[in-house]
Amino acid sequence: MIILQANKIERSFAGEVLFDNINLQVDERDRIALVGKNGAGKSTLLKILVGEEEPTSGEINKKKIFLCLT
């Protein structure tokens, strides 16, 4: 069962694109990890996925689930 689906997520700050065209599908037994350089937008993407921040554009669909930022 899909618990999280993100389509064409984009985030910009002051006209600068941090990331764009992020597509993600997570099934209920999946575990994911984000890896990248400092300032690449990993924390921002996670905050968008849990609803703490809004994407500049794109769509997120999720079931009622607990997402933990650790």
Boundaries of every domain in the chain: 2-62
Q: What is the pLDDT of residue 67?
A: 61
Pairwise CA distance, residues 7 & 50, whole Å: 15
pLDDT, the chain, mean: 90
pLDDT: is 45 or 32 the higher one?
Answer: 45
Tell me the CATH architecture of domain 2-62.
Answer: 3-Layer(aba) Sandwich (3.40)
In terms of phi and psi (left: phi > 0; alpha: psi -120 to 50; beta: otherwise), the region of 15 is left
What mean pLDDT comes out for the span 20-32?
93
Amino acid 69: pLDDT: 61
Please state whether 45 falls in left (phi above 0), alpha (psi between -120 and 50) or beta.
Answer: alpha
pLDDT at position 66 is 64
Assess whether pLDDT exceeds 90 at residue 63: no
**What whole-number distance in Å separates Cα of residue 14 and Cα of residue 6?**
23
Inform me whether the pLDDT recorded for 68 exceeds 80: no
Write down the pTM of the prediction: 0.84
